[in-house]
């Protein structure tokens, strides 16, 4: 039992664990004061105050969320104000639409995205991103088969861009990045998400 499990006062944050890189998110959440819980069944959503949707393959994640009857439940929770943080494929899942054709999406954030916009696995890269919402120090962006935000509505606040494309955004209780903050030692984005969680629980 880790320290987070021993403290019931810490907020429980679910990490969708159907497919993709979820373990690193669990570790980051523990470091910023949450109790992470793997989400593989719809009923587990009743136990959490927030949710992280990790990277992976958005088409596969969407199909699994439909198959496990999770997609509609998460959409409802997002509409009701539950904080949700999507990274890479998670950003795609939060979007209203993609330019790549039909797939199962949560359709919560007012944005249209392009999957694998920066290229395939061999085109993965790291770069420093300016993110004023996190302070003056740049944030290490790890891009792996990453999407970008093609267009966004007025309700969406762009937090970071790369090569003139938005790659991080926030809309009310929703936070999304095209890159993988969980693969770095920089916890500021997870801390920002936890601030959203605690603000929503007041």
Taking residues 99-128, what's their average pLDDT?
92
Higher per-residue pLDDT: 35 or 121: 35
Mean pLDDT for all residues in the chain: 93
Structure tokens at 29: 């959440």
What pLDDT is stored for residue 3 in this prediction? 41
Taking residues 80-85, what's their average pLDDT?
98
What pLDDT is stored for residue 120 in this prediction? 78
Higher per-residue pLDDT: 202 or 200: 200
Taking residues 84-99, what's their average pLDDT?
97
CA separation for the pair 147, 115 (Å, rounded): 4
Residue 125 maps to which CATH number? 3.40.50.880
Residue indicated by tokens 């890189």 = 21
CA separation for the pair 179, 118 (Å, rounded): 11
Task: List, in sequence order, the alpha helices (H) in 47-167.
Answer: 58-67, 71-79, 89-94
Q: List, by residue number, the catalytic residues.
A: 88, 180, 182
High-pLDDT (> 90) share of the chain, %: 88
Structure tokens at 127: 């770069």
Query: Is the pLDDT score of 6 beyond 60?
Result: no
- Residue 135 banded pLDDT, cuts 50, 70, 90: very high
Query: Is the pLDDT score of 202 beyond 50?
Result: no
What are 11-58's pLDDT values in tens digits? 999 999 998 879 999 999 999 999 999 999 999 999 999 999 999 999
What pLDDT is stored for residue 8 in this prediction? 64
Residue indicated by tokens 């109790």 = 35
Q: Report the number of distinct structural domains present in the chain.
A: 1
What pLDDT is stored for residue 1 in this prediction? 42
* Domain interval for residue 182: 3-200
The lowest-confidence range among 73-82, 112-121, 130-139 is 112-121
CA separation for the pair 40, 21 (Å, rounded): 14
């Amino acid at each position: 039992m880790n320290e987070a499990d021993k403290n019931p006062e810490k907020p429980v944050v679910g990490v969708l664990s159907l497919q993709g890189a979820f373990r690193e998110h669990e570790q980051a959440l523990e470091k910023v004061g949450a109790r992470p819980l793997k989400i593989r069944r719809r009923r587990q959503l009743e136990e959490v105050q927030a949710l992280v949707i990790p990277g992976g393959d958005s088409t596969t994640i969407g199909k699994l969320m439909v198959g496990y009857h999770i997609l509609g439940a998460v959409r409802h929770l997002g509409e009701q104000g539950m904080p949700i943080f999507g990274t890479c494929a998670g950003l795609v899942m939060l979007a209203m639409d993609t330019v790549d054709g039909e797939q199962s999406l949560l359709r919560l954030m007012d944005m249209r995205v392009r999957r694998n916009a920066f290229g395939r696995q061999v085109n993965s890269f790291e770069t420093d991103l300016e993110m004023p919402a996190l302070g003056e120090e740049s944030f290490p962006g790890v891009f792996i088969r990453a999407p970008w935000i093609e267009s966004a509505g007025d309700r969406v606040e762009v937090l970071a861009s790369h090569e003139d494309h938005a790659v991080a955004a926030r809309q009310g209780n929703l936070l999304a990045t095209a890159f993988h903050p969980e693969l770095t030692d920089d916890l500021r984005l997870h801390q920002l998400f936890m601030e959203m969680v605690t603000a929503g629980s007041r």
